[in-house]
């Protein structure tokens, strides 16, 4: 921990890169957690979503079931520590694989949260990008015998603002992530197994560009060998000393 603190203190521009592990203490299971929501159902591939009304209905039913379970999640100590470092000017922005909106909820401005996989807390028309709130989709489904509604402006399909399996990575977010990566002097990988692209490419890119690399995860990753420091522990506990938001550091649980 003293070494962790020292590297954070010495850094001028820290780029946190976060995965599902930062949100587990908030009650949202990570990808690999046995029996978790994400592992119970086969993911609906993007082409199936496009091809079938029933796949769209099913995808929305799952989303609302998930919302009933995780909808009230609050930022955890990891999120709050990063928000504290952001306010202190050490963290210009956060790049995340998460879709849970908890970095924004912790006080980081939305334009400073780069979401590689999108955001599941609101919906968009796939054709004209019109925004819809989930409560609207839900009430339309309830009124329409469980049938997922289409865009009222253009008739396009409405989905949560996330990237599905089989869909391309969003260009703007990828460009922003790469620019941040190339301008940071410390790349801080938090709670990601670092096995999925592009997450698997980022640590090496940052290192090659001269940044230091810290990996915080309770399990080993393939990049531990090239890291300047590996902190093998619980994210909430590791980041608790960096929470500086004037409130108590109770773990938020659902």
- Residue 127 binds which of Zn ion, ligand NAD, none (CB < 5-8 A, kind-dependent): Zn ion
User: Exposed, middle or buried by CB within 10 Å (0-12, 13-18, 19+), for 147?
Assistant: middle
Q: Which of 31, 46, 64, 157 binds ligand NAD (CB under 6 A)?
A: 31
Residue closer to ligand NAD (CB basis): 149 or 236: 236
Residues 21, 36 contacting (CB under 8 angstroms) = no
Q: How far is the CB of 193 from ligand NAD (least distance, A)?
A: 3
103 carries an active-site annotation: no
Which H or E run contains 61?
helix 53-70
Lookup result for tokens 């996330």: 162
CA distance to 24, 148, 156, 159, 194, per residue, from 63 (Å): 18, 12, 19, 10, 25
Scanning 101-109, 148-156, 205-213, 230-238 for contacts with Zn ion by CB under 5 A, the matching segment is 148-156
Residue closer to ligand NAD (CB basis): 109 or 169: 169
Q: Which of 11, 25, 81, 181 binds ligand NAD (CB under 6 A)?
A: 25
Using the 8-state DSSP alphabet, how is residue 203 labeled?
H
Which residues participate in catalysis according to the annotation?
A: 117
The contact set with ligand NAD (CB under 6 A) reads 19-21, 23-25, 28, 30-32, 38, 97-100, 117, 191-193, 196, 199, 217-219, 234-235
């Amino acid at each position: 921990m003293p070494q962790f603190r020292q590297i954070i203190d010495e850094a001028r521009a820290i780029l946190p890169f976060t995965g599902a592990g930062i949100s587990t203490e908030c009650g949202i299971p990570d990808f690999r957690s046995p029996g978790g929501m994400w592992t119970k159902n086969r993911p609906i591939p993007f082409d199936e979503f496009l091809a079938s009304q029933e796949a769209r209905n099913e995808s929305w039913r799952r989303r609302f079931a998930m919302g009933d379970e995780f909808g009230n999640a609050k930022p955890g100590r990891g999120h709050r520590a990063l928000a504290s470092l952001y306010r202190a000017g050490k963290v210009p922005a956060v790049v995340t694989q998460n879709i849970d909106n908890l970095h924004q909820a912790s006080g980081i401005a939305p334009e400073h949260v780069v979401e590689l996989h999108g955001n599941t807390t609101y919906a968009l028309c796939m054709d004209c990008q019109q925004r819809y709130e989930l409560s609207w989709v839900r009430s339309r489904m309830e009124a329409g015998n469980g049938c997922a509604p289409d865009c009222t402006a253009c008739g396009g399909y409405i989905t949560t603002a996330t990237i599905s399996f089989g869909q391309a990575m969003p260009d703007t977010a990828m460009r922003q992530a790469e620019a941040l990566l190339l301008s940071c002097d410390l790349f801080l990988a938090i709670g990601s197994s670092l096995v999925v692209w592009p997450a698997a490419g980022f640590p090496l890119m940052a290192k090659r560009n001269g940044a230091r690399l810290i990996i915080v995860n309770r399990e080993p990753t393939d990049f531990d060998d090239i890291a300047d420091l590996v902190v093998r522990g619980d994210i909430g506990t590791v980041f608790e000393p960096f929470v500086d938001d004037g409130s108590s550091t109770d773990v938020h649980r659902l």
